[in-house]
Structure 1
């Protein structure tokens, strides 16, 4: 099923309204999810919608949060998300970071007591729109085993940098710090395909290509796959994300981060509050004139695109380039949804008495 962007956006907005979100919050949350689908990151788009609804149904998500600053200096802040949608809390935090950067050159905001915030790139790109460099990361429920272990202690813990350019699209480095995002395993599981070797371990700690391995109690591996291929680097990146997002903000961290799956309750004796994020913005003109920076960014991009190829049919791909191309394609031709996601959306439409996004299509 392929759905026009605006129909999918309107449907998603109505679902968030149905659980009690304000007009502004429902519109923002829908924008974050549909932006993920437009960018081709299907694992974090409307495929996640029913997950947020289930969290709300299990009293683990506050649809009307009082998002507020609880600690602040001229260039930093800590925000309490009041158990709200991370899709709403994180953009609020990035707005705070951008305003601090506008006044002082850079702004850095830690967030606690939040929930899953969608794609990190959405939040980092808010800074790019203001001629700034954006930074966004979040911890997540434990699915990843640290190097030399089979115990799930870390999340996929994505990290994102976004850099403005001139004639080219922004360079957006948006990636999980695990060997693969869990969403990729979910997509493979839904379509009945195996995953690549080096992505996951089974419950015995053995390598596996079973897409349902993590769902069955196995673990994802850090970026680098195993110790022989540099997994300590992925472990280090993931640890950095967890410490900045969780330990610094007062959110939960490591094995205490609450699960996104609603029927799994958070473990007892949590040291913090909810899920944590960390966002930042840096004014380019705090370092040099924006026009000069963009000209050099264009030169940097052009040179890498001209790199000598191993395979003549495969050029070097600039970070963020596939997502940019996906946006152009899907805005014109619509957003494709696999059957499992479509059935999920139909279940939500029935639950809340809302018209299907395909109605009239």
Structure 2
């Protein structure tokens, strides 16, 4: 496989370019900056399929009206620790950040805060939201539904999305624990990457359109993703859709519009953000001590392969994040060039000090 040329850029500069680029598609500055924060964190954490390259992908839908650039994102508290949020078909990561902020505010007041989101779009990966929550002292459960790519157990038609869920746990004495996972064996983006690289995919990643297992990424993209754990993955995906689509009064199952086949249509995705203020449960020092002991017990596990040590969920991503902040973000040169071109359009019309 041919090496991809890369260029190093700082976090602040990448955030500036991504914000400017999104503003160029008509997104308000504050919403663009929020969305850029999620995408830049994803890029630094090594979740590159949901990172900076998404700016142009979101932009293509903003241009044709699939995403509303001037959306009015409105949260409504229906109980002291419970809110709904209407994203007005806006930019997904901006809606996600608004929901995260609302959940944080309620959790500070009541100890726990739950926000159920409707009329949203693809909101990026969960890990950045879980990280931001953990850094502020909140444990979190965050989930979203998605367009259909997974067949129910025993079925030969896609009826469920590859619905992601994630958890985050703060650690006042060290690094938080973060789990971000979708229901399939791998994310669809990894199959797209294999297709772009002209490489086969491993067995067990997906099926063709007839439900037959395949190692051909092009065939897999036309077929179904395979859920992790068989019927157990199907059950989890179903429950995430009930939590995020059904309870949020958003679209669910086959009612969710496909980004790829109907890019001009509103998806009406649903998300849920549930946060717990851990300071209400125990002092930070005690939580830090317990979290460090928890991690030590697992890290001291005898590895089955001496070359591969036991790690906690999120350790690799957080290590990549720290490295990116120390040495810069290594971004594909073509992606960076595209971002600069998009940002230049905004800069030509707006003074830099206003962005």
Fold equivalence (TM over 0.5):
yes
- The 1:348/1:160 distance shift into structure 2, 3 A limit, reads same
**Unpaired runs of at least 5, structure 1:** 225-230, 268-272, 356-361
Could you tell me how far apart the structure 2 residues matched to 1:344 and 1:97 are?
34
SS in 2 for 1:213: helix
Q: Over aligned residue pairs, what C-alpha RMSD do you find?
A: 2.2
1:115-157 CA-to-partner distances (Å, cap 9, x unmatched) read: 1111112222232122110221111111112222231122211
* Further displaced range: 330-339 or 189-198: 330-339
Give the corresponding residue for 1:96: 102
Could you tell me how far apart the structure 2 residues matched to 1:157 and 1:281 are?
19
Q: Is the 8 A contact 1:304 1:318 kept in 2?
A: yes
SS in 2 for 1:322: helix
Could you tell me how far apart the structure 1 residues matched to 2:132 and 2:322 are?
19
Give the corresponding residue for 1:290: 284
Could you tell me how far apart the structure 1 residues matched to 2:264 and 2:31 are?
26
Give the corresponding residue for 2:150: 144
User: Is 1:30 matched with 2:36?
Assistant: yes
Q: Is the 8 A contact 1:75 1:101 kept in 2?
A: yes
Give the corresponding residue for 1:254: 253
CA-CA distance at 1:236 after TM superposition: 1.3
CA-CA distance at 1:69 after TM superposition: 2.3
Give the corresponding residue for 2:241: 242
1:245-285 CA-to-partner distances (Å, cap 9, x unmatched) read: 10001111111212223754559xxxxx7111000110113
- The 1:205/1:347 distance shift into structure 2, 3 A limit, reads farther
* Further displaced range: 193-202 or 6-15: 6-15
Could you tell me how far apart the structure 1 residues matched to 2:334 and 2:258 are?
21
SS in 2 for 1:337: strand
Q: Is the 8 A contact 1:79 1:109 kept in 2?
A: yes
Give the corresponding residue for 1:305: 299
**Unpaired runs of at least 5, structure 2:** 1-5, 349-355
User: Is 1:119 matched with 2:113?
Assistant: no
Give the TM-score of the pair, scaled to structure 1.
Answer: 0.88
- 1:337 pairs, out of 324, 331, 334, with 331
CA-CA distance at 1:344 after TM superposition: 5.5
Give the TM-score of the pair, scaled to structure 2.
Answer: 0.90
Could you tell me how far apart the structure 2 residues matched to 1:41 and 1:115 are?
18
- 2:9 pairs, out of 4, 28, 31, with 4
Aligned residues: 342
